[in-house]
Structure 1
Amino acid sequence: MTVNGKVVHYDANRGFGFLAPDAGGADVFLHINDIDIDENALKPGAKVAFDIEETDRGTKAVNVAVTESAPADDAPAGRPHRRDSHDHGRPHGGDRDRDRDRSRKPRGGGSLDAASFTEEVTELLLDSSDDLTAAQIVAIRQRITEFAVARGWVLD
């Protein structure tokens, strides 16, 4: 059965990401080996249609098709690739300082919405350990986002 949703995150350097079904529920893992489309189209916010396959490691997306491109990014330069700004997955001192400053206040000075916050948490989790599984990342970021929303730190 085909599911409609959108790209939450996709890291071309690591070859995986997550899709959020429109009907709700847990995000679905997406791996480069399971797609036959241009990875450049898998930007956050892009609308997709996909099938869900159950595996021994959880659910994953297969037969992914982009149905609508992601909204234009208003940021002038976009986010750098992690591999370009990190050494073997470990941030340099300047990156740690930048991340700490960014965590004190959201970009643009306002409050983050839950989707933006979840994307930021995903980036931090991906940078923190190569040993985390997709299911672990989904579970951790969901709990952190729920915690932040419940305390009013993030807009729902």
Structure 2
Amino acid sequence: MLHVGRVLRFDEVRGYGFIVPSEGDEDVFMHANDLVDEKYQYKAGSEVEYFLEMGDKGPKASQIRLVHAPAPQGQRGTSGSGQGQGQVDPHGEYSDVLSPAELRNELTEALLQADGTLTGDQIKRVRTSVIELARSHGWLES
């Protein structure tokens, strides 16, 4: 069955990365050997379709194909696009409201940039705690 998701991160030099599925909560491993398009085209945020397999260490994508190029960094879609939508906060300033998946993606990237020694389990625990906090304060799309 064909699945759709977004590239969470992809290291072109090392040849691997992860996809956040549109449906489901566990990130999917991706390897350069399974890419249909040129590997330099796979950037964080790229929408991809793929077949899901179970690898030795968990879910693994195969026959990974780009659906379309990612939007430039910092841009968000409009309401109904599946991406965060801007809202006016109580102070009259424009703020970005993210979906839980978008927060998870951005938080993962921030954690990896802040400390490259974090393990996957540590990142998952931090993400879960921050997303619960954000939900409790209404900082996420419903």
User: TM-score, normalized by length of structure 1?
Assistant: 0.61
Residue-by-residue CA offset, 1:77-118 (whole Å, 9 max, x unaligned): xxxxxxxxxxxxxxxxxxxxxxxxxxxxxxxxx899623112
Report sequence identity in percent.
24
Asked if 1:149 corresponds to 2:131, the answer is yes
Runs of 4+ in 1 over 4 A off after TM superposition: 110-113
| 1:6 corresponding residue in structure 2 | 6
What are the ranges of 5 or more consecutive residues in structure 1 without an aligned counterpart?
A: 75-109, 130-135
- Give the alignment's Cα RMSD to 1 decimal: 2.8
Matching residue's letter, 1:128 = T
| 1:85 corresponding residue in structure 2 | none
| 1:116 corresponding residue in structure 2 | 106
Matching residue's letter, 1:42 = Y
The alpha carbon displacement at 1:124 in A equals 4.7
Between Structure 1 and Structure 2, the one with more helix by share is 1
* Alpha-carbon distance in structure 1 between the residues aligned to 2:109 and 2:24: 17
Matching residue's letter, 1:150 = E
| 1:25 corresponding residue in structure 2 | 25
Pair 111,150 (structure 1): closer, same or farther in 2 beyond 3 Å? farther
* Alpha-carbon distance in structure 1 between the residues aligned to 2:114 and 2:52: 26
* Alpha-carbon distance in structure 2 between the residues aligned to 1:38 and 1:20: 20
Pair 2,122 (structure 1): closer, same or farther in 2 beyond 3 Å? farther
Matching residue's letter, 2:50 = F
Between Structure 1 and Structure 2, the one with more strand by share is 2
Matching residue's letter, 1:122 = L
Matching residue's letter, 1:4 = V
* Alpha-carbon distance in structure 2 between the residues aligned to 1:42 and 1:123: 19
